[in-house]
Structure formats: structure tokens, C-alpha cells
Amino acid sequence: MTVVSVAKEHGLVLRQVELAHGGQRLLGPLSLTVAPGEVVTVMGPSGCGKSSLLAFVCGTLDPALEGSGRILLNGEDISRRLPEERHVGILFQDDLLFPHLSVAGNLAFGLPPQIRDRRARRARIEEALAEADMAEFYDRDPATLSGGQRARVALLRTLLSEPCALLLDEPFAKLDVALRARFRSFVFDHARAQALPTLLVTHDPQDALDAGGPVLEIDAAGKVCAGTDRPLEQRGPEPRRTTE
């Protein structure tokens, strides 16, 4: 976790990532490493390109933007891979559950096709739901769920797809304050339990605080202006991993 820039390193590594629009730089250059089980938070005002950064990592960057730099996942360069070949899960501010599918349908959508047997698939989904205290929601229409429940299903869907890294695009912003704390710990607990390198972007300091990992701050011009390797409240003196 303290080792910097090792090619064979586990986890998610961003190297000299830069986003530009029509030749004009939006964000970066940015380099960082997220170790398995660690949550790195990128903070910044809206419009600084945080979300585009995540889109670049999972390969769905708006064609109007140009991205450069390398992304390594568990030692492999995934920058040129198609989104579906990157094994990077993402959660958005909106849960984006598919309204045409039931809760189970949404989860089955995430489940890898290698699990062929219908009963096995069903068992995996039931197991995941039970573990989230949502066993009775199997056949429910997502529209009938509360905000917190929907958020949990969205996370389960992502986790069931067995990603190698997790990206969080302000997934807590739309939940009310009480729910937010609970869902945050739900997400972080799961990410840690599955040893997923997790990259969170947010403009809410509380998110960063709860994440308990290193924090990078980006200013409105897209420049990295501060960074710590500690949780926010214990911000240390020396910047870390902002440059290599």
C-alpha cells in the first residue's frame, strides 16, 4: 500500500491521465494508485471533470473529449480495451436500475454468464439479496422500492458482475442524510470485503471522511491542488502520489 509505481502492482493505477476538449486541457495530469480494498477519493467542484475521469477509466468517455495516459488494473494496461473488457464496475448518482426488469432481473443482468444453471443463478441472487437484508424483494418492480433500497440493489448488481475495481460517481448525493451514512458504510464494507480498489469522486467532504482513504483535491481548472495519504481529518504534511 505504500509501494509506489510498481508495474506488477495489484489494484488500480492511473498514470499521467489527462482529459482535454478540442485541445484545451480539462483535467490532469493525474497519477494515482488505488490498492485492493482501499478507497481513494477525488474531490472537486462540479464541472471540474471528475465524472469524465471515471468515464475515461471505464472506457465510456464522451467521443467529444480526448483522454490520454494509461490505466492499469492488477498490472495490466486496460486503457485501450473496450469498456466490457475492463472489468470495472461503476455506480452513479442515479441508481439506473432498469425499469423493464424486476429486482432479480436487474441482478441477473449483472451476474456473469459463466454461471449457466438457472438454479445456480437464482441461488446467487437470493444469497446476495439476503445478505443485504432484502430477501423478500426478489420479484419486486424497482419502481416500488425506496431510494435506499434501490441504491443497494444497484451496488449488488455491480458486485455480482465480479468487477476487479469499483468506481463511484457521487452515488450518495441523492440520498437523504440518514440514509447516506448507512449506504456509504454498506458500499465501503462490501468494497473492502471483496478487496476491490475503489475510486470515489464527490464534492461532499463527508463522503471523503467516511471513505477513510487518501484524498485528492482538484480545483475548478482541473489541476490537482492537494492530496493526502490519510483520511481527511488527519491530513498529513506531505502530498502523496500526485506526481511521479
Residues in the site for other proteins, rule: CB under 8 A? 55, 58-60, 63, 82-90, 92, 94, 96, 98-101, 104-105, 108-113, 115, 121, 157-158, 161, 163, 167
Least distance in angstroms from the C-beta of 78 to other proteins: 12
CA distance 154 to 109: 11
- Provide the residue type at 148 as one letter: G
Nearer to other proteins, 87 or 203 (CB): 87
The Cα 100–Cα 110 span in angstroms is 15
Nearer to other proteins, 27 or 90 (CB): 90
State the minimum distance, in angstroms, from the CB of residue 1 to other proteins. 25
| Minimum distance of other proteins from residue 96's CB (angstroms) | 5
- Of 167 and 191, nearer to other proteins (C-beta) is 167
For other proteins, the closer of residues 60 and 206 by Cβ is 60
Compute the distance between CA of residue 160 and CA of residue 179 in angstroms, rounded to an integer.
Answer: 23
**Tally of CA atoms within 13 A in the half-sphere of 109 that contains its CB:** 17
Minimum Å gap between C-beta 55 and other proteins is 7
Backbone angles phi, psi at 6, to 5 degrees: -105, 130
| Minimum CB distance to other proteins, residue 236 (Å) | 33
Nearer to other proteins, 149 or 158 (CB): 158
Query: Cβ 186 to other proteins, closest distance in Å?
Result: 19
Q: Of 17 and 167, which has the nearer Cβ to other proteins?
A: 167
Nearer to other proteins, 132 or 209 (CB): 132
Smallest separation (angstroms) from other proteins to the CB of 5: 26
Greatest pairwise CA separation for the chain in angstroms: 54
